[in-house]
Structures are given as C-alpha cells and as structure tokens.
Amino acid sequence: MRVPGFRTRLALFFVATLIFVQGVTAVLGYTVARRELVQEGGRQLAANAHAFVAQMNDLSASVAAGVQIMSLDYGLRSAIAASDRDTILSVLRNHGRRVGAARMQLLHLDGSVQVDTAGTDEGKPFAWPDLLARAYDERTAAMAVTGGKAYWVVVVPIYAPQPVGLVVASIPVDDALIAHMQQLSALPRDVELATPVKDGYAVIARGTSHSELTAQFQGAGARLPSEPRLVRIMGREYLVLAQPLTQARGGGAVYAVLGYSLDDALHPFQPVWNAWLALLAFALVAGFFVAWLVARGVSRPVEALAESARRIAGGDYHDAPDVRRRDEIGELATAFRTMGDAVRERELRIRHQALHDEVTGLPNRAAAEDAIDNDLASAAAQVGALLIVGVTRLPDIIKTVGHALADRLMRDAGQRLCQAAPQHFVGRATDTQFVVWLRGADRAEAIAAAFRMVDALGQPYHEGDVSMDMGPAVGIALAPAHGERAAPLMRRAEVAEFAALKSTRGVDVYDPPSDPHRPERLSLMSELRAAIDADALELFFQPKLRLADGQVDAAEALIRWHRPGRGMVPPEMFITVAEETGNIGRLTRWVLAHGIAHAAELIHAGHSIRVSLNLSARDIGDPGLPDRVAELLHAHGVPASAIALEVTESAVIGEPEAALQVLRRLADTGIDMAIDDFGIGQTSFAYLRRLPVRELKIDKMFVQHLATDPTDRTIVRSLVELGHRLGYQVTAEGVEDAESMAFLASVGCDHAQGYHVGRPVDFAAFVARIGARDPGGA
C-alpha cells in the first residue's frame, strides 16, 4: 500500500490534532456534567425522600386533627358511654370518609377492638399495640402492611374528660395517594413503595412512572440502597435511593424507593450537545481546509527539495529548487542548493580522480576499458589494436632514485606516447604500463605504431645530472582476433608485452598457443590433481641400451596422461603447469611410488633392469625426499641400486647448496644420480665435480644430427671424453638412426636411448619386450 504524501500526512496531523482536542474537550465536558448531575441527583433524591416523609407526617397530622374533632363530638362520646354500636359505627364511617380513611376503628382502653367499620376485628386485640402506648403522649402514626396493602395508621385518644377509648384511622397508601402527593409537591415521578418478601421486595404502590426501580434489587440477600446508587434500568441510567418509613411493630417494613433519571436530567443539555456537534463538524471542515492550506504551504517547498534530492541521487545536480522564504524552510533550501553545488563539484573531482591517473593525468585502466568497450560496441570500430607499453626499468629506477623522480619520468613517458599517437587513446594501465588503443588499426599498422613508441621511449630521460633508460617493451593484441572486449585484450596484450621483454625487438604480438595463462590451463591443473588422486596416470618405459654388449640393462620411466575425451596430453604441458602451480611435488610422489613398485615387479620377474626416475627442481630442494624414497624402497623390498634418479642442470644450479645436501643424502643410500639434458645448462665443472653424480645424459639436441653434422660429432666426442675423465657413465639421448648409434659406440659412449633403441611403451609391453630379448627393436 502506498504511503500518503507529506502534504496529506501534515494535513491529517492537523485535523487529527483538532479532533483529538475536541474529543478530549467533549469527554471532559460530558464527564464533568455527568458527575455534577449525579451529585445533584443524589442531593435531590435525599431531599425528595425527606419531603416524602414530611408529607406523610403532614397527612398523619391532618388525619389526627380530623379525628380529634370527631372525638369532641358529644354524640360520639354519649354513644361510647352508652355502648351504642350503631351510632359509633355511623360516626366513624362519616369521619373516615372525610379524612380519606379506608377503615375506622374504636378501641377500648384495654386495646381490644370495640367497633370496626370493616367488621372483621371487633372483640379482638388491636393488631399494633405498640402504637397505643404512645398515643396518650403524642400524635402516633405509622406504616403498616396488611393483606398485601400499605396503610398509614393514625391513633388518637378520646377524652370525656378522662380517656374513654382510642380511634384508629387506616389511610390506604396506594398509587392514587402517591400520585396525589406528586401533584401537590415536587416529588420525582419515579417513586415506589416496597416491602420485603421472601425472594426480594414487592412493590405495594408506585407513582405515575413505571420505571421498575425495585425490580433491580430482587433475589435473596439483595438490599435496597440507603445511599444514592447508579443503576441501569431498561437501557436508562437512574440514581436510586430507598428511605424506610415509620412502621408499626409487626406491621412489616415499608420503604419509599425514589429514582432520579440521568437521561431525563441530561435531556435539557441535548440542544447544547447538538450545537456542539454542529460546531465540531464546522470546525473540522474549516480546520481541514486551513490545515490543507498550511500543509500545502509547508509541503510544496519540502516536496521540491525532496524531488531535487532524488535528482541529485540520480546524478543530476542542476535546477535546484528556488524557494524564496525567510523562514527555516527558506534557509534549508539555500543550504540545500549550496550542498548540491558542493556535491556536484566534489563528485566531478572524485570522478576525475577515479578515472584518471594522479601522476600522469591520463585515463586509468578502468576509464580505458570503458572507452575501448564503447568503441568496440559501435559498428564502425569493431576492428582495432590494443597496445600495452611497458617501462621495464621503472622498478630499478624507483629503488635507485625514489618515487618522486620516477613519477616525473612516467609523466614524461605519457607525454611522449601522446605525441607518438596523437589521434589515439592513451591511458595508464598499471604502475609500469601504458595502454594505447589504435582504433581501426590492423596488424601491420599496430606493429609500426609499436616501433614508433619504442623509439619515443628509447631516448633516455634526463633530469639534472641523472640520465635514465626506460627499457620500453610493447605487447599487441588485435580485435576481434584476440578478443572482443577491453579486459581480455588488455590481458593478452600484457602476455605479449612479457614476451617482448625477452625479444631483441621489444615488440611482440599475442600468440595464443604460447600463452601460458590460457583458461584451459586452469582446468588442466584441476583435472591433473583429480587424475593423481584417482590413480589415472601411467608410467611408460623407454629402454636404455648398453653399447658395449648390446643389452638393455636400464629404462627411463616417463609419465603419461590420457585425458578423458581429449587424448594423450604432452608431458611437457602438464609437467610445466604442475611446476608453476606448486603441484609438482604430488606428481613426483606418484612417480616415485609407482616407479619403485614397477622396479620391484621387474626384480621379482628376474629382470636386472635399473629404472631411472626424473626429479624436478622443486623436488631436490625438499629435505624430506631422501627419507620418502628410502621408505618406498623398504616397503617394496627394492635395493637402492635398482633405481636411478635424474635431475637437470638447471635444477641443480637453482639452489646449489640445498640440492647438494639432498643429492648427497640420496647417494649415501646407494642410489645412482644422473644429470639429465647435459650440455645445454650452465653448470660449472668445479661445481659439477662436487655433485654425487654417476651418470651424464647428453641432451638430444647434440645427438639427433650426429650422422650429418660434424660439429655435433665433435661436441659429443668431447662430452664423452670429459664424462669418462670425471668418472661418470655417459648416456646419449635421442638416438634415432643406426649411424648415430655406431658413432656413439666408436667414441666409447656407455648407453644409448632413443627411438632407434626403443620407443616408450607401457609397463606390460616393456616387460614383454625385454622378456623376448629384443633390445634392438625400434
């Protein structure tokens, strides 16, 4: 769901605040008014209760006065003296009607009923004797309940002049009486008379309203409220108060239950409430309109600032909002414009720094890649040449004269390149390399431009008394032949630049077959590790012929790898990769384990064949190699004389002291050591004399053309004589014809190895060959 905008939220905030304030005011007003009404209702109920009792007292006084008048009647006193019942009955009935009594009685002084207008209790004791004792001292009146009806009983003595009897008037307290009392006074409409019964209270009389006040207090243990209590009756709220009336002993309790309707009390305030609601509605409409105007005035500049912020986030720093105000929003807008200008200038500076070299001011590698990719993406520039120009002497210059002068040299080199390629893109690729993009150039044009750049950087850089050669080298990669994007072109041009360092021209074009960093070499190494772990390699054996008697007495174990789906991999390829990636140790351990195992098989088969195994330069620097070889020999039961280990001249020269220690430890175990590819390295004879070597293997480059090249024959004859004088056995590698073998035999060479003697074959075929005693087979 979309979040409302700032303007809407601000307007809603104002309106909500207004509603909240008005609501709180209404709640407070209603609460205060209701509390006051409740308090006032309680006071009125108490006053009405007292008024009701007072009215009942007035009624008793009026009845008593009427009875007293009747008691002065001479005829009544005479009838009482004569016990004239009829006359007494007539007088009682007449006076009872005048005072509203439903029943009149004449009592003897002993409390028995002498005459009863109801005719039911004559001769019986008076029902409420407690009223008689007080009648002589004060006016006596009390409420009594009989037959489910309430009566106000008034007792007045008759004197003649001594008491001769008592007159009792029973005035019914019913709905009519209460209604009459309500008309004559300010009694509330909600009045009920109630008397306790078994399950609560029974209403014996009520006023003009039928609000069922007492019905709310039914049930066992229920009590009528002696203090004003708030109750809800038929959806309306009432204050209810019960006032006990004076009662005769044994006549049942009677309560006057009075109610005060809060709804009726609040009714006069309804117009005020309606007026307030109308005012609230008007205030809300007006407040919403005003709030909208205020919110609009506040939000428009804020929205403009927000829109400007979004544009700045997208890189557009123009068209800052023009907010002409003198308040805080105006100050914010001014600060925002200032900030936008500062950010724009800072970003331009940062972008320039991010895309340019700080020293030369030329575009850096990232900017160069973007520019070249944009050119290659256009249909008109899909052909071109990328040149990596290296200043190869820069590391030596930095070490000699420091970074400051080297930076000035690179700045001068950049200027020279820009002059040599004025219409082309020139940037700085790395600390020591520049990149030049020749748009639309072919191979010949790229090579010509490369030589111009070599000439431009070939002039020494002079500063003071210092003159420094830059040592330029240029690598060339062509688009689209060597890549269709800048990144691969740069990488391949760098490979060509590394090759150019080794050439005399200083310029080279990328050659894919000679690239040592092709991606397939990475997969080759991972597959080689898997092949070693899966024991998927194989040793081939090439026989070595002893020229003195024509017998095969030795063989060189050569590792072979049949790569699934790609055929046989040349050994020089995966061995070189293993050396470069540091995995040659694993490969050597595999060769030693399997070579010594095959040597054991040859011994068990009765063949006296010494197996030669090759070591790399990294292997002879491993101090643990002698122990590992000794463990393998012991595990397979192979004597040390049954194997020979071959190392190249270059491997020995790399770390001579470490190699010397390892080779001596191997020789001390009885293993013969051989120098492979002898004649093409740089081994000094003084150092060679210190090595524990028993065999020299003349490199095949001197042997392959012995039949036709007199120079090679002279060199080989000299090497054989030198080896014998130093006490070494001499083996010639690469023997491919009978003439060469005959020459080697004539000069005293000890062993011959090559295709003429025998090609490398797997172990089973080699065993079959030597079993057939066919050393001369080609």
Contact 577, 608 (CB under 8 A): no
Fold match, 1-187+263-300 / 356-517: no
Report which of residues 142 and 513 the model is more confident about. Answer: 142
Amino acid at 424: H
Alpha-helical regions (H) of 625-753: 625-636, 649-654, 656-668, 685-690, 710-725, 738-746
Residue 724: pLDDT over 70 = yes
Residue 202: pLDDT over 60 = yes
The CATH number of the structural domain formed by 520-771 is 3.20.20.450
Residue 778: pLDDT over 90 = no
pLDDT classification of 319: cutoffs 50, 70, 90: low
What's the pLDDT at 179? Answer: 80
Show the tokens assigned to 535: 């024991």
Average pLDDT over residues 97-111: 86
Stated length of the chain: 778
Lowest mean per-residue pLDDT among 176-180, 217-221, 774-778: 774-778
CA-CA distance, 504 to 506, in Å (whole number)? 6
Residue 776: pLDDT over 50 = no
Show the tokens assigned to 739: 């003439």
Average pLDDT over residues 539-546: 95
Contact 678, 698 (CB under 8 A): yes
What's the pLDDT at 543? Answer: 95
Residue 148, classed as helix, strand or coil, is coil
* Residues 71-89 pLDDT 10s: 677 777 778 877 888 888 8
The CATH number of the structural domain formed by 356-517 is 3.30.70.270
* Residues 646-687 pLDDT 10s: 988 766 665 677 778 888 999 999 999 998 888 765 555 656
Show the tokens assigned to 393: 């002497």
The CATH number of the structural domain formed by 1-187+263-300 is 3.30.450.20
Report which of residues 515 and 598 the model is more confident about. Answer: 598
Give residue limits of the domains in the chain. Answer: 1-187+263-300, 315-354, 356-517, 520-771
Average pLDDT over residues 239-250: 79
Placement of tokens 């105000």 in the chain: 325
Burial-class residue 705 by CB neighbours within 10 Å (0-12, 13-18, 19+): middle
Residue 367: pLDDT over 80 = yes
Q: Which pTM does this prediction carry?
A: 0.48
- C-beta pairs of 271-278 under 8 Å, 24+ apart in sequence: 276/26, 276/29
Backbone φ and ψ of 570, nearest 5°: -60, 135
What's the pLDDT at 635? Answer: 94
What's the pLDDT at 447? Answer: 92
pLDDT classification of 381: cutoffs 50, 70, 90: low
Residue 725, classed as helix, strand or coil, is helix
pLDDT classification of 774: cutoffs 50, 70, 90: very low
* Residues 505-519 pLDDT 10s: 889 999 887 666 666
Mean pLDDT estimate for the chain: 83
What's the pLDDT at 329? Answer: 67
pLDDT classification of 777: cutoffs 50, 70, 90: very low
CA-CA distance, 486 to 282, in Å (whole number)? 72
Contact 113, 122 (CB under 8 A): yes
**Closest to 365 in 3D by CA, of 438, 439, 435:** 435
pLDDT classification of 102: cutoffs 50, 70, 90: confident
